[in-house]
């Protein structure tokens, strides 16, 4: 029964913070609301019996990724509000209508696939025997060991790519600055 109360406490916060994130004019406010949303998702993971992903969600998303976001926002200084006028006419209405259609479509698919009020959720304690971390490690390092190793290559390539993008080329910067017509500060 506790999960029922936790769900109905957390779900509105999750949806509202996500909606406010999309509507926020200030990028810093959007980032903070997204952190709230990540925490609510972590609680969902805990309700669903996935304590490892609960911790990883908080450490990786709410910790590392959002700090990176805030760092870039502060670095670029784009924390001033932006004008919200439309450049393509009717873009917002069309996007909202398409979004509603997508929600209805997924809702219909869920209703057809699982049913909206299936009372019995299968027992998870046998799967999580010995703790969620141990059970997950057993699956990860047996069946999915090769993909796990491949992610190390992915992370290395991502780090090299970020380094190449962030590199400041002095000659290139001068030409760009004169082309834009601004003096470098």
Partner 1 sequence: MRTPISYFLLVSALLFTIGTVGVLVRRNALIIFMSIELQLNAVNLALVAFSRQNGNLTGQVLAFFSMVVAAAEVVVGLAIIVSLYRKRRSADVDDASLLKG
| Contacts (CB under 8 A) with partner 1, residues 79-98 | 82, 87, 91-92, 95-96, 98
48 binds partner 1 (CB under 8 A): yes
> Which one of 103, 131, 174, 178 is in contact with partner 1 (CB under 8 A)?
103
Residues 143-172 touching partner 1, rule: CB under 8 A, are 143-144, 147-148, 151, 154-155, 157-159, 161-162, 165-166, 168
Place of tokens 């590199």: 167
> Which one of 22, 89, 146, 183 is in contact with partner 1 (CB under 8 A)?
22
Contact 3, 44 (CB under 8 A): no
Q: How many residues bind partner 1 (CB under 8 A)?
A: 90
DSSP for 140-182 reads HTTTTHHHHHHHHHHHHHHHHHHHHHH---HHHHHHHHHHHT-
> Which one of 89, 90, 126, 183 is in contact with partner 1 (CB under 8 A)?
126
Looking only at Cα atoms, what is the longest distance across the chain? 67
SS3 category, 79: coil
> Which one of 3, 9, 74, 178 is in contact with partner 1 (CB under 8 A)?
3
- Rounded to whole angstroms, the Cα distance separating 73 from 28 reads 7
> Which one of 58, 74, 149, 176 is in contact with partner 1 (CB under 8 A)?
176
133 binds partner 1 (CB under 8 A): no
Contact 59, 8 (CB under 8 A): no
Q: Which two tokens stand for residue 161?
A: 């790519």
> Which one of 127, 130, 146, 183 is in contact with partner 1 (CB under 8 A)?
127
129 binds partner 1 (CB under 8 A): no
Cα-only R_g, the chain = 22
Minimum Å gap between C-beta 89 and partner 1 is: 13
């Amino acid at each position: 029964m506790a999960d029922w109360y936790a769900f109905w406490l957390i779900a509105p916060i999750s949806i509202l913070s996500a909606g406010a994130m999309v509507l926020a004019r200030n990028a810093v406010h959007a980032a903070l609301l997204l952190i709230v949303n990540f925490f609510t998702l972590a609680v969902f993971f805990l309700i669903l019996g996935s304590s490892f992903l609960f911790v990883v969600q908080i450490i990786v998303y709410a910790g590392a990724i959002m700090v990176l976001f805030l760092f870039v926002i502060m670095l670029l200084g784009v924390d001033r509000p932006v004008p919200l006028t439309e450049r393509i006419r009717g873009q917002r209405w069309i996007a909202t209508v398409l979004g509603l259609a997508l929600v209805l479509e997924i809702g219909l698919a869920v209703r057809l696939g699982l049913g909206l009020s299936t009372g019995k959720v299968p027992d998870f304690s046998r799967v999580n025997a010995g703790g969620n971390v141990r059970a997950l490690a057993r699956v990860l390092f047996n069946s999915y060991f090769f993909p796990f190793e491949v992610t190390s290559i992915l992370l290395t390539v991502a780090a090299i790519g970020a380094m190449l993008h962030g590199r400041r080329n002095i000659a290139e910067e001068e030409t760009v600055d004169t082309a834009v017509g601004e003096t470098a500060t």
